[in-house]
């Protein structure tokens, strides 16, 4: 009985830590960086900040649009199209 409780506790704590490791998203690989760069450039952005894959999409912070304004941009994971573009007032 004690052995099964200990094993369950270890499994549960491991699952919690594994979930926390992915909660903040992940950076792009070199290949993904190339694709994100191409998509943002095609959409008219000249430079940007942090890029991470989170919640099934690419999230881009502080992208400077053709109008000179700063945006937070989400890109589709399947075709790299812009699925959200919001002015960043920070």
pLDDT per position in the chain (90 positions), as tens?
A: 444 443 333 333 333 333 333 447 999 999 999 999 999 999 999 999 999 999 999 999 999 999 999 999 999 999 999 999 999 987
Structural domain contains residue 13: no
Q: What is the pLDDT of residue 89?
A: 86
How far is CA 52 from each of CA 19, 40, 73, rounded to the nearest angstrom? 17, 14, 11
Q: What is the pLDDT of residue 17?
A: 33
Structural domain contains residue 14: no
Q: Provide the number of structural domains found in the chain.
A: 1
CATH number, position 30: 3.10.450
Q: Closest Cα to residue 48, out of 72, 81, 24?
A: 72
Structural domain contains residue 10: no
Structural domain contains residue 3: no
Q: What is the pLDDT of residue 82?
A: 97
Structural domain contains residue 16: no
């Amino acid at each position: 009985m004690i052995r099964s409780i200990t094993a369950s506790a270890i499994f549960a704590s491991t699952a919690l830590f594994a979930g926390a490791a992915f909660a903040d998203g992940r950076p792009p690989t070199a290949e993904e960086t190339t694709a994100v760069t191409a998509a943002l450039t095609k959409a008219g952005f000249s430079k940007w900040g942090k890029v991470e894959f989170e919640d099934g999409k690419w999230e881009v912070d502080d992208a400077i649009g053709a109008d000179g304004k700063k945006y937070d941009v989400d890109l589709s994971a399947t075709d790299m199209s812009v699925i959200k573009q919001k002015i960043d007032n920070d």
